[in-house]
Amino acid sequence: MLGSILALCEVKPGSYCSLSPMQYLHPVKHFLILTCFCLCDFASQVDYYISQSDADNHAVREAACACIAELGSKINQDVVRPFVTSLLEGLLDCFKDDSWPVRDAACIACGKFVNCFPVESR
């Protein structure tokens, strides 16, 4: 299915989408173009969230945990599945944080992740 979406959007796998704002407004293709944009850039989003779980600012680390939890619970599981191990590693690192709100956010995020990906989380 990903291949069909990328073909429809005229994007090669592994490349970044460069869509003009007018394409976002097209009523028929809106969902597919938005999906294409998100899927093309998903790996870099995951990398960014993981990098921010180690940021200097504790509020940023806390937000990164919340964002990772959102990825696990709200994005199609087939899209997230290849990244589960690295996302969980980022969350588990936050359990060692000096800031209790970061540890709390990591705990909540891990719970959501394990609930969504029980087999991959073992």
Token code pair at residue 91 = 């969350």
User: Count of CB atoms within 10 A of residue 18's CB?
Assistant: 9
Q: Which CATH number fits domain 42-116: 3.40.50.300, 1.25.10.10, 1.50.10.10, 1.10.3720.10?
A: 1.25.10.10
Buried b (16+ CB within 10 A) or exposed e, 66-98: ebbbebbeebeeeebeebbeebbebbeebeebe
Please give the residue that has the higher pLDDT: either 61 or 4: 61
- pLDDT higher than threshold 60 for residue 38: no
pLDDT tens track for 39-62: 557 888 899 999 999 999 999 999
Measured CA angle at 70 (ends 46, 45), to 5 deg: 20
Within the chain, all domains assigned CATH 1.25.10.10 are found at 42-116
- pLDDT higher than threshold 90 for residue 13: no
pLDDT at 40: 59
Q: 0.85 exceeded by the pTM?
A: no
